[in-house]
Structure 1
Amino acid sequence: MTPRSAQVAEWQNGSCPEHSSPCTVTHQKRSLEIIDTRTHGAIDYLTGALLIIAPYLFGFATGGVEQWLPQLLGAMTIVMSLLTPHELSLAKVIPLKVHLGVDAANGVLLAVSS
């Protein structure tokens, strides 16, 4: 067994390579999260609102794609956040993995459109 496969085997058996005692599944899952879902939801609402008003704040509200693309993505971000299972949502319709994938795609789209 290679060192890497030994580490994977330790995790599968519930042992954490960073701690002397075994870790629970909850601890292992939590250690992979960067931010909790409540914080992510709050950031989504703030980001959506900023994307909607950005063309006016930064002087590119010309009626063209440079205006409507961030506004569309901002509105979509707010609606998607309202429908994703977290503490600040209204309904639990969109799975979190789908939400995160759309977040990443929106980021790439905004980056290449500037």
Structure 2
Amino acid sequence: MRFLPTSIHGVIDYLWGFALLSSPWLFGFADVPVARWGAIVFGMGAILYSVFTAYELGALRILPMSLHLILDGLAGALLAASPFLLGFSDQVYLPHLLFGLFSVAASLITRMEVTLATGHREPV
């Protein structure tokens, strides 16, 4: 069931991206290079494709929301699996797992249409 409006998803995108970027220092794994860089790359990537998404908080509005949600789901699954795939799960895994699962969940509950300033919903 898709109930999350794209306008709220957009706010979450930027907050999630910046939180993920800062997570190595907030959660004390900045000394694990592969874990730190994974968080930085995924955080920057999410912010970057959010800027390009055709939704309320997109600046350039090139990518359709459907592609954005696919990227959220795929990137989230990869982020969640990254500690195990890249071999740092013995040092840190929970932030990557939780941020990744959150991204997958957000991709599954976000509406596929953008609400315009007129109040009209438009599929994207």
TM-score normalized with structure 1 length: 0.68
Aligned equivalents of 1:68, 1:52: Cα separation in 2: 9
- Name the structure 2 match of 1:101: 70
Q: How far has the Cα of 1:107 moved from its partner?
A: 1.1
Deviation per CA, 1:52-85: give whole Å up to 9, x if none: 0000001110251100011111011111111101
Q: How far has the Cα of 1:33 moved from its partner?
A: 3.0
| Aligned alpha-carbon RMSD (Å) | 1.3
Of 39, 58, 71, the residue aligned with 2:8 is: 39
Question: Which protein is bigger by CA-based radius of gyration?
Answer: 1
| Greater share of residues in strand | 2
Q: How does 1:39-78 map to 2 (within 5 A)?
A: 39-62=8-31, 64-78=33-47
Query: Any gaps of 5 or more consecutive residues in structure 1?
Result: 1-31
Question: How many matched pairs?
Answer: 83
Percent sequence identity over aligned pairs: 39
Instruction: For CA contacts below 8 A with separation 6 or more, give which structure has more relative contact order.
Output: 2
Deviation per CA, 1:5-49: give whole Å up to 9, x if none: xxxxxxxxxxxxxxxxxxxxxxxxxxx532111001000000000
TM-score normalized with structure 2 length: 0.63
